[in-house]
Amino acid sequence: MGMFNSIYTDVLCSVKNKINKNTEIQIKWQEYEARVLSHYHLGDVLEDIEDEFNNTWIRTDYICDACSKHTQGQGYSFIKTEDQKWHYVFVNIRQGQIKEILTVREFKKLGIKNFVRY
């Protein structure tokens, strides 16, 4: 799998219509040397971003905490690999900055046809 960085954001589950707080979106959009488990949020700048991911929309996915089945551990809950439910989101990067993160429904309203599939 290799190293990656993450964007953390609140995103709406389209199945349960519930906000997933502080959802992790794992990314490998930066040069290899910059992938050091860094955390980013909306408005942050991604250092050393690769050209194909800059100044565009990127379709990526995340594990949905709202509609994935949770298994109860001793004092905590977790999502087994086989119980993961994944959803797409669209991330807009402009000059390295994370400008917008939209659900599929929100993105379709914009009518944008060109984006990077990640």
DSSP 69: P
Task: Yes or no: say if 14 and 104 are a contact pair by the CB < 8 Å rule.
Answer: yes
Q: Which domain holds residue 79?
A: 5-117
Asked whether residue 1 carries a pLDDT value surpassing 60, the answer given is no
Q: What's the pLDDT score for residue 2? A: 76
Tell me how crowded residue 82 is: count the other CB atoms within 10 A of its CB.
Answer: 6
Counting the structural domains of the chain, the total is: 1
Query: How far is C-alpha 4 from the chain's CA centre?
Result: 12
Q: How far apart are CA 108 and CA 115, in angstroms?
A: 12
pLDDT digits (tens, 9 = 90+) for 69-106: 999 999 999 999 999 999 999 999 999 999 999 999 99
